[in-house]
Structure 1
Amino acid sequence: MPSTPRLREDGLIAAVDMGSNSFHLAVARLDHGELKLVEGMSEKVRLGGGLDDKDRLTEEAQARALACLSRFAQHLDGITPDRLRVVGTNALRVARNAPAFLKKAEKILNHPIEVIAGREEARLIYMGVAHTLASNARRLVIDIGGGSTELIIGEKFDPLLMESTYMGCVSYASRFFADGIISPKAMERAITAARHELAPLVSTYRELGWDSVVGSSGTFKAMRQVTMALGLDKGSGQLTADAVRELHRLVLRFGHVNDIVLPAIKDDRKSVLPAGLAIVIALFEELGIKAMDYSDGALREGVLHDMLGCYADEDIRDRTVQAMMSRYHVDIAQAERVATTAAQLLEQVAAILASDETGNSNLLLRAARLHEVGMAVSHTGFHKHGDYLLRYSDMAGFSQPVQEKLALLVGSHRRKIKPEQYTSIVEAGGLTLLRLCLLLRLSVLLHHSRRRDPLPAIRLRTDGLRFVLGFPPGWLSAYPLLEQDLREEVEVFASVGTALEIT
């Protein structure tokens, strides 16, 4: 689904994938709308293996990760923030001390890190495969990561069914092969656990069906390489069910991960090979897979192509917003009125608020369009319902931090801003997010009557601590309810340390 990018073609674009097993860096150049890889790096960090029994990242795991990011950072000089995206996956979704670690990591990269949800990870993986391995067939794409396994059925560039499961080669290695011993009992326990994880998905996936299967992770790459080296693929270049069964027999013979001697299997792959193999066996058996192709394209390539989409004529996030507006029966005309006014107000104060970034503008507009989604649940406290829906829905294209910001904006767009809300807003997005919240509140108030008549020319000035909202002479007095709402809003602004003057 290539489209003409608006991103300039005179520079580099980069993605960093902080996986639970490996960290990946991809640097590419735009060439007539196509991505050309300039540089790629991967390091085994085993972040997921550094989770202790309380789901906290150990100091050793953090040190490995930060050292890797320091090396990556040297290759990111000169890449502007709008052309770089850094994503974290399962280990960072699970880790209780992820926020503290992310602060240190972001300082090294001088760039925010997005911890993406499982289904969003699945969508990006599919995008990476679809752009790397062209096909018109319906495909089942599977990616075994360190802490999760994603399964996606899609056609061309469109995913049709996506799931993320809690099984990965690092987490299963810690759970079933912590002592390194490869026993038939340990393998069977790991395979059974993977089957249980897949059980709720099998009927749905089989019912939708697929024409071909593609694996996109290091686990599949390693197994394909070793089976090809041993001639188990019979010249097909595929990972077959027969080859997987034979590999299972061979691996059990070694008895311990340190004793594994197989062609194409590097030392840093040995400790997770039995766990990865157990997951592969369960996948092949439960889904009835006979043969699987391999794609080098995965999450990092998907992130790069998704960045292009964000600058092209159609952004997946806008499609997601439109779908939610339809699903929750949002009054589209009202939402667009609020969004238009929000954009006009932001434009007048963007330079002072340092909010002229496209990301902030899009965040405000999307919050404006979604501010009434909670009405589908109840008119009473609908802002709270909206907060919940945006916080916990699967929203394609949105990272977890951005979803949280959207939820906070919608949840705080009316009534008082409670101290805990203020704290959450500032922690999530600093004063910039707070000011976007205030702009959204003003925009909603200005359209509280839901009148179709256009607003007059409204002026907004600010020095960052004081907002001055100006109307044409005599106009506001003709709308006493709005005038009263704005007087009450002065108190709300004051409660968060900001003055509001109405002229």
Structure 2
Amino acid sequence: MQSLFQQPAHDLPFEKIAAIDLGSNSFHMVIAQVTHGQLRVTGEYGEKVQLAAGLNKNVLDDESQERGLACLTRFAQVIENMPLGSVRIVGTNALRVAKNRYDFIGKAMDIIPHPVEVIAGREEARLIYVGVSNTMDHGEKKRLVVDIGGGSTEFIIGSQQKPILTESLHMGCVGFRQRFFKDGTITKSNFQKAVTAARLEMLSIQDDYLEEDWDLAIGSSGTIKAAYHIIKENNWGKKGISLKGIKSIQKALFQAGHSDNINLDGLKPERKSTFAPGLAILTAVFECFQIESMDLSVGALREGVLFDIMGRYADRDIRETTVQYLLNQYHIDKEQAKLVAHTGLSALAQVKEDWQIDKISSESFLRWSSLLHEVGMGISHSRYHKHGAYIISESDLPGFSQQEQQALANLILRHRRKFTQSLNYRFTRQDQTELDRLAILLRFAINLHHDRKEGDMPIFSMKAKDNTLHIEFLPGWLEARPLTFANLQLEADYLLAKNFTLTFS
């Protein structure tokens, strides 16, 4: 029997994959050809959308949404007809904080018919490290990776492929421009205020990171990439970025006096308005972490997403590692979880065509929710489904987007008692229907193993249509289990409240 605690590896079914990064400052897309497990980038696209500039009281205004959607319309032409699963779209800080993010996401998915995933800050940091570690080989050296974005800055310490510390702080070049350089004016005074604000933000992680120590510092993306090229083009440093080189850039900015007047070799015109605030954050990073020199990585978030897509079809899906960690961390009864998962997957195999449950990830979500449905048991037995849903929805779960965590929490919350319970998450109508059906299969599997008898694998057949499900057991099996019979009768009543008909014999 195949182990349920590690997803079996299988070949990547795509010859071409794409990653789209909906950043707070810029939208980027990278296309790659996959040959014999190796990536070859065939196209890179990017536009300065400045989504975060349209945030007013954490609501995206119409203009910023229109800029983003217009950009995605152009991206859509390149990835037209690419199958589901081959394109992964991730949203970062601006979409994390936007109260109306689902309005934008709905419009975006009308343009590009692939899921838009909003990722947590630490997940963004992990993916950045995946991009860096797969494009730069430093052997066993420990490295500090820094990525200054439009709305947040990520810090990672790791060695080889493994991140050790990950953190995301709510400071970025677009946000700092709004706070300290709103009219474009650049002075020593407002620049230093921005540096001080960034240093104060980093106080919460400074001690832990300095204590961990590292052998070299690596920067990626936007501001750091611009600073690297400016120093190189103007001969202000021999190798990489140094504090001396940063000071030379500062001097040029103060002389310019305004973002419109910046004229530096190596700086793209579209980056002028956000470069001074980004450099203030970079200055604070160097001072706070006592960095002498920083190299530039060609890989960052979007490259990390590409490698993550590949990992999900091999034996490197970080979500599997996360589920295994939760199983151990919360002392879940693994044998019981395994029984439930086997029965749930057997049920899904019988009705997936009837119910058109055809999402690539449906089997994984049913398996994960089966394995983790008792994650809240150590807190409270009577309300453990609610505690479990809270743990899943609010924890940092490497590999999972916020929507994936919400879907998993939705299944765990509704695995027992009233089927109508809700965490008030927003899903598309199609996704909600599929979650409802997966939840019914999860509840069925749990009911069949309520007596917690190891090795008791029931034999049954299922037929499903719309809002009906009929189950047939071997003759005499159900009669010999009065507890199971009573649970299924109660389950039929619970489901009826959702206008769903369950019959069994």
Calculate the TM-score normalised by the size of structure 1. Answer: 0.96
Letter in 2 for 1:301: E
Q: Tell me the residue number matched to 2:134.
A: 131
**What per-residue deviation string (whole Å, max 9, x for no partner) do you get for residues 406-440 of structure 1?**
00100110011236469867769221111001111
Q: Are 1:412 and 2:414 matched, yes or no?
A: yes
Task: Say if 2:10 and 2:313, in contact at 8 Å, map to a contact too.
Answer: yes
* Partner of residue 78 from structure 2, selected from 75, 84, 87: 75
Q: Tell me the residue number matched to 2:165.
A: 161
Report the 3-state secondary structure (helix = DSSP H, G, I; strand = E; otherwise coil) of the residue aligned with 1:357: coil
Q: Tell me the residue number matched to 1:109.
A: 112
Cα 1:85–1:423 shift into 2, 3 Å: closer
Following TM superposition, the consecutive aligned residue runs of length 4 or more in structure 1 with deviations greater than 4 angstroms are 419-428
1:389-400 aligned within 5 A: 389-400=391-402
* Partner of residue 433 from structure 1, selected from 432, 435, 439: 435
Letter in 2 for 1:51: L
Q: Are 1:455 and 2:452 matched, yes or no?
A: no
Letter in 2 for 1:132: T
- Structure 2: distance between partners of 1:243 and 1:453: 67
* Partner of residue 381 from structure 2, selected from 379, 382, 391: 379
1:226-265 aligned within 5 A: 226-234=230-238, 236=239, 238-265=240-267
1:41-440 aligned within 5 A: 41-52=45-56, 54-136=57-139, 137-234=141-238, 236=239, 238-418=240-420, 420=422, 429-440=431-442
Gaps in structure 1 of 5+ consecutive residues: none
Cα 1:81–1:315 shift into 2, 3 Å: same
Task: Say if 1:349 and 1:460, in contact at 8 Å, map to a contact too.
Answer: yes
Letter in 1 for 2:144: L
Report the 3-state secondary structure (helix = DSSP H, G, I; strand = E; otherwise coil) of the residue aligned with 1:132: coil
Q: Tell me the residue number matched to 1:40.
A: 44
Shift of 1:261: 1.3
**What per-residue deviation string (whole Å, max 9, x for no partner) do you get for residues 336-381 of structure 1?**
1111111000000011122133301101100110000001212120
Report the 3-state secondary structure (helix = DSSP H, G, I; strand = E; otherwise coil) of the residue aligned with 1:493: helix
Report the 3-state secondary structure (helix = DSSP H, G, I; strand = E; otherwise coil) of the residue aligned with 1:93: helix
Task: Say if 2:129 and 2:163, in contact at 8 Å, map to a contact too.
Answer: yes
Calculate the TM-score normalised by the size of structure 2. Answer: 0.96
- Structure 1: distance between partners of 2:429 and 2:468: 21
Report the 3-state secondary structure (helix = DSSP H, G, I; strand = E; otherwise coil) of the residue aligned with 1:49: helix
- Structure 1: distance between partners of 2:424 and 2:101: 22
Cα 1:426–1:73 shift into 2, 3 Å: closer
Letter in 2 for 1:231: N
Q: Are 1:22 and 2:26 matched, yes or no?
A: yes
- Structure 2: distance between partners of 1:217 and 1:456: 54
**What per-residue deviation string (whole Å, max 9, x for no partner) do you get for residues 170-210 of structure 1?**
11111111111112221111111100110011110111111
Task: Say if 1:405 and 1:429, in contact at 8 Å, map to a contact too.
Answer: no
**What per-residue deviation string (whole Å, max 9, x for no partner) do you get for residues 253-303 of structure 1?**
221111111112122111111100110010000000000000121111100
- Structure 2: distance between partners of 1:123 and 1:471: 46
Task: Say if 1:352 and 1:462, in contact at 8 Å, map to a contact too.
Answer: yes
Q: Tell me the residue number matched to 2:3.
A: none
- Structure 2: distance between partners of 1:455 and 1:496: 29
**What per-residue deviation string (whole Å, max 9, x for no partner) do you get for residues 13-69 of structure 1?**
1111100011111111111101110111011100111112x2111111111100000
- Structure 1: distance between partners of 2:350 and 2:220: 47
- Structure 2: distance between partners of 1:436 and 1:417: 12
Gaps in structure 2 of 5+ consecutive residues: 1-7
Task: Say if 2:339 and 2:457, in contact at 8 Å, map to a contact too.
Answer: no
Q: What RMSD, in angstroms, separates the aligned Cα atoms of the two structures?
A: 1.6
Query: How many equivalent residue pairs?
Result: 497
Structure 1 vs Structure 2: percent identity of aligned residues?
43
Report the 3-state secondary structure (helix = DSSP H, G, I; strand = E; otherwise coil) of the residue aligned with 1:456: coil
Task: Say if 2:374 and 2:384, in contact at 8 Å, map to a contact too.
Answer: yes
- Structure 2: distance between partners of 1:422 and 1:91: 21
Shift of 1:78: 2.8
